[in-house]
Structure 1
Amino acid sequence: MRVQMLGLCRFSYVGLRGYQVEHDTYEQRRAYLYDSQRLARRWAWFTEVALPTWRAQTDPDFTLVVMTGPDLPEPYLSQLRDLTQDIPQLKLELVPPMQQHLAACWQAVAPHVDPSADVIGHFRHDDDDAVAVDYIAATRKDFNRVKALWKSTGRMSLDYSRGLMLELGAGGAKLTPRICHNMGVALTIFLPPDLPETALNYDHSKLPMWMPGVAVTDPLMFIRSIHRDSDSGAMGPGLAWQLKDKQLDRQLQRRFGFSLDGLNALAPKLA
């Protein structure tokens, strides 16, 4: 059974709905998203936290669609185009502002769906989060273990629940280990290739309403960032787990290619 891994990353897309921070008009939304200082911070999160682990995936067979508007200010639009030349898995889609957010997401993803695949592993990825370097490989392996469940329903979620909550401030990086179910990052929604939906069609906090799910609570699989520009600034519910500083640094390096010193050095730029 061939699985296509297909993700969507929204980068400052000027569309209404689909976010917890809402605006009444496109003009208000554009002013908020395209604020020069905010864009500079988002670009730093994207290029220095989100992208390194996508570059380093042990299984390179995936597509990550980066969705933004055709009027994204320079130099960011040109830099996104450059990134798609540098990282072959990245595909840039310029979607005009749309009121129906799910339709906009489908417009971005649809050109990249492989109709010959048996199943599409849809995932969403925020531009300030990170997944472990074996997320794609682990998802394929674990889907194969439980594919009978997907065959019986046609929809299924696979959730990697063990992660780190990252906060950056004047004192550097603070990382809080948490087990959080269906957080949204490192979460895959398996759908048939002919179904015109993406991972965004399903509220990740309510997935059991629509499909069965499998939670994999080990190993460490994601970093979720919490900061002033987050669409949701809350850590949310979860279970605490412990990592000593030396263990944390080893896990950051092994799972993400990061170091605690490196994240501390990013704090002045991203806080």
Structure 2
Amino acid sequence: MRIQMLGLCRFSYLGGRGFQTAPDSLEERRAYLYDPQRLARRWFWFEHVTLPSLLVQTDPDFTLVLMTGPDLPDPWLSNLRELAGTVPQFRLALIPPMESHLDACMAAVAPHIEPGADVVGHFRQDDDDAVAVDYIRHARRDFADMRQLWERKRRLFCDYTRGVVLRVKPKGITTELRITHHASAALTVYLPPDAERCVVHYPHWQVGALMPGVALASRPMYVRLLHHDNDSGAVGPGYRTPVQPESFEPVLAERFRIDLAALRDGTERLLAG
């Protein structure tokens, strides 16, 4: 059985709807999204939180669509072009502003769906969150245990609920190991290749009402970075695990290839500037 793993990462995409806090008019959204200081923060977090684990996945058989607008300012557009040109799994999708955010996301993803796949494992990769180095391997392997459930409706989700939440505070970054239900990070939505849908068609906070699914919490599988630039700063339903690591540096380094000290130092400099 061929399971294609296909992710969507929206990097400051300029379009309509789809976000909770974006201004109303296109020009106001452009000014907000393309503010140089904001883009510098987003790129720093993308480089230091999101990218490290994606570049060393234990199963490298996946595609990640980097979606942005054709007028994203440099150097960030050039940076995305360079990534798409050097990382075999990355594809750059330049989508002009569209009022329907779902249509825009589908325009980015559709060219990369394998029509010959039996199942497509869609995932949403926010540009300031991370998945574990073995996320792709587990999302593909664990589907075998869920296949009978998939056959009922030919759509299914797998929610890896254990992860690390990093909160950017005025005096640093706090760390917490949590169980979070239906977070966007490390949530896989399995669809047939002809579904004409992708992961954003199923809001992560409502996914349990839209299809059957499974929650797995045996290992930390995601990092969520919460800060004032978030579209939504809510951590989501769940709870702090009773046992917390004595130090988060080894967990973040081994599972996500995140250097917590460098992340803290760089974030402090960006916020001070």
TM over 0.5: yes
* Map of 1:119 onto structure 2: 119
The residue matched to 1:126 in structure 2 has which SS?
A: coil
Q: Identity rate of aligned residues, in percent? A: 52
Question: How far off is 1:268 after superposition?
Answer: 1.4
* Map of 1:96 onto structure 2: 96
Q: Structure 1 length normalisation: TM-score?
A: 0.96
How far apart, in 1, do the equivalents of 2:40 and 2:261 lie?
22
Q: Is the 8 A contact 1:170 1:267 kept in 2?
A: no
Residues 1:199 and 2:199 aligned together = yes
Aligned partner of 1:266: which letter? G
**Where does structure 1 differ by over 4 angstroms across 4 or more consecutive aligned residues?**
none
Aligned partner of 2:76: which letter? Y
Question: How far off is 1:231 after superposition?
Answer: 0.6
How far apart, in 2, do the equivalents of 1:259 and 1:51 lie?
12
How far apart, in 2, do the equivalents of 1:264 and 1:45 lie?
11
* Map of 1:164 onto structure 2: 164
Q: Which shifted more, 55-64 or 248-257?
A: 248-257
Change (3 A) 1:245 1:172: farther
Aligned partner of 1:114: which letter? E
**1:90-239 equivalence runs, <5 A:** 90-239=90-239
Question: How far off is 1:23 after superposition?
Answer: 2.3
Residues 1:41 and 2:8 aligned together = no
* Map of 1:244 onto structure 2: 245
* Map of 2:31 onto structure 1: 31
Structure 1 gaps, min length 5: none
Aligned partner of 2:246: which letter? D
Question: How far off is 1:170 after superposition?
Answer: 4.4
How far apart, in 2, do the equivalents of 1:43 and 1:263 lie?
12
Q: Is the 8 A contact 1:45 1:270 kept in 2?
A: no
Q: Is the 8 A contact 1:41 1:269 kept in 2?
A: no
How far apart, in 2, do the equivalents of 1:157 and 1:270 lie?
37
How far apart, in 2, do the equivalents of 1:36 and 1:119 lie?
40
Question: How far off is 1:73 after superposition?
Answer: 0.4
RMSD, aligned CA: 1.3
* Map of 1:11 onto structure 2: 11
How far apart, in 1, do the equivalents of 2:270 and 2:205 lie?
27
Structure 2 gaps, min length 5: none
Cα-to-partner distance string for 1:74-110 (whole Å, 9 max, x where unaligned):
1111111001122111100000000001000000001
* Map of 1:257 onto structure 2: 257
Q: Structure 2 length normalisation: TM-score?
A: 0.95
Cα-to-partner distance string for 1:152-205 (whole Å, 9 max, x where unaligned):
210000010001111233433211111011101000000010011110001111
How far apart, in 2, do the equivalents of 1:139 and 1:234 lie?
25
* Map of 1:86 onto structure 2: 86
**1:54-65 equivalence runs, <5 A:** 54-65=54-65
How far apart, in 1, do the equivalents of 2:134 and 2:269 lie?
28
Question: How far off is 1:270 after superposition?
Answer: 4.9
How far apart, in 2, do the equivalents of 1:212 and 1:134 lie?
23
Q: Is the 8 A contact 1:19 1:231 kept in 2?
A: yes
How far apart, in 1, do the equivalents of 2:80 and 2:254 lie?
28
Question: How far off is 1:226 after superposition?
Answer: 0.4
Task: Give the length in aligned residue pairs.
Answer: 270
* Map of 2:66 onto structure 1: 66
Q: Is the 8 A contact 2:64 2:89 kept in 1?
A: yes
How far apart, in 1, do the equivalents of 2:45 and 2:96 lie?
24
